[in-house]
């Protein structure tokens, strides 16, 4: 998700809406959200007050066990700052059902909610680091149907197609694909909302990507935002909490007061300063942000989430592996630099 992950470190002066925008970024939440979070147990079930499922067999959890076996106890303890928090599941491959059923089944066992990301839109990421997606509109419809069927009657939060709308707005996605994309997103919202306990948030980029949030209003409406529960912000990026919340509130005012969720997985230190070109891709010195919670203290902000898995590479830059692959050294750096509650 090249442009999804990109971030500009210098934000423009606040627009008439009272905010700025640009490439993707991490979000965050204020002191109320941080104080409301209670750490999860290590068996995959969050402690009382935690709403979301923690994967007991995540890459971070496996890494903790490996480092413990190698005698790296101190590093293993630090990495628990990731392994013991709920992180979104991005179903891989042509069949999303196995990953979804594992997440929803684990969540149901603990009375929690699974957080899922639907990321398979045709012409995804404009052919960049996270290129791919369904090969046709009909295939995508089938994929979304399988996604929804796998959720069944389980409670789930679905973040729908990170960067799909912002890539239309910034011109990265060619115009000939726009109509199909709007239709597919609208149909996906409708299909997912047939599941009785699903909340759907259509992605809307971040404050460092589209400088005027009002440019997103028309595209979000064309994509069916009125039938969604809201929109998501800051997926896989680094923008700070307050900037993202201000952006979300301003955008909400243009789309009928829709609520939003935001990704705080890596925004604890904010965006990388002084590097506009490559700040989006594995920037050094970043840190974990506000832990996930649905207790935000803000009527428009439904949840603070870790949508991007902390420790997954943004792409083959700064010595990283391919996009989406686990990078333990980077994960450890994020954990060491975690935002203090």
Tokens of residue 248, six digits: 């979300």
Contacts of 89 (CB under 8 A, 6+ apart): 55, 99, 100, 102, 103, 114, 115, 116, 117
Phi/psi region, residue 311 (left: phi>0; alpha: psi -120 to 50; beta: rest), is left
Question: Per the residue annotation, which of 125, 240, 263, 312 is the catalytic one?
Answer: 125
Segment (H or E) for 223: none
For 231, phi and psi rounded to 5 degrees?
-135, 160
Rounded distance between C-alpha atoms, residue 279 and residue 94, angstroms? 31
Given 163, 203, 240, 241, which residue is catalytic? 163
CA 314 to chain CA centroid, Å, is 13
Exposure string of 216-254, with b = 16+ CB inside 10 Å and e = fewer, is bbebbebbbbeebbbbbbbbbbbbbbebbbbbbbbbbbb
Is residue 314 among the annotated active site residues?
Answer: yes
Indicate which residue of 170, 229, 302, 314 is catalytic: 314
Catalytic residue check, 125: yes
- Could you confirm whether 163 is annotated as catalytic? yes
Active site residues: 125, 163, 314
């Amino acid at each position: 998700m090249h442009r999804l992950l990109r971030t500009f470190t210098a934000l423009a002066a606040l627009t008439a809406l009272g905010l700025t925008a640009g490439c993707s970024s991490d979000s965050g939440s204020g002191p109320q959200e941080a104080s409301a979070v209670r750490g999860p147990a290590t068996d995959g079930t969050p402690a009382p007050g935690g709403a979301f499922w923690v994967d007991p067999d995540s890459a971070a959890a496996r890494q903790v066990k490996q480092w413990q076996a190698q005698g790296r106890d101190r590093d293993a303890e630090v990495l628990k700052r990731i392994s013991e928090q709920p992180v979104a599941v991005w179903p891989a491959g042509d069949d999303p059902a196995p990953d979804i059923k594992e997440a929803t089944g684990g969540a149901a066992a603990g009375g929690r909610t699974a957080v899922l990301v639907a990321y398979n839109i045709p012409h995804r990421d404009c052919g960049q680091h996270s290129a791919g997606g369904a090969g046709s509109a009909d295939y995508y419809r089938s994929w979304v149907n399988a996604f929804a069927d796998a959720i069944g009657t389980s409670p789930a939060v679905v973040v729908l197609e990170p960067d799909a709308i912002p890539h239309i707005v910034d011109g990265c996605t060619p115009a000939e694909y726009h109509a199909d994309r709007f239709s597919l997103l609208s149909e996906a919202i409708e299909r997912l909302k047939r599941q009785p306990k699903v909340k759907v948030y259509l992605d809307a980029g971040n404050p460092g990507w589209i400088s005027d949030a009002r440019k997103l209003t028309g595209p979000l409406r064309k994509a069916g935002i009125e039938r969604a529960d809201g929109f998501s912000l800051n997926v896989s990026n680094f923008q700070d909490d307050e900037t993202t919340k201000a952006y979300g509130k301003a955008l909400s005012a243009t789309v009928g007061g829709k609520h939003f969720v935001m990704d705080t997985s890596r925004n604890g230190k904010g965006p990388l300063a002084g590097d506009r070109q490559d700040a989006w891709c594995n920037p050094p010195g970043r840190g974990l942000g506000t832990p996930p919670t649905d207790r935000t203290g803000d009527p428009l902000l439904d949840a603070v989430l870790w949508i991007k898995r902390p420790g997954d590479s943004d792409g083959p830059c700064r010595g990283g592996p391919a996009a989406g692959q686990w990078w333990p050294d980077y994960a450890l750096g994020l954990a060491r630099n975690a935002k203090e509650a």
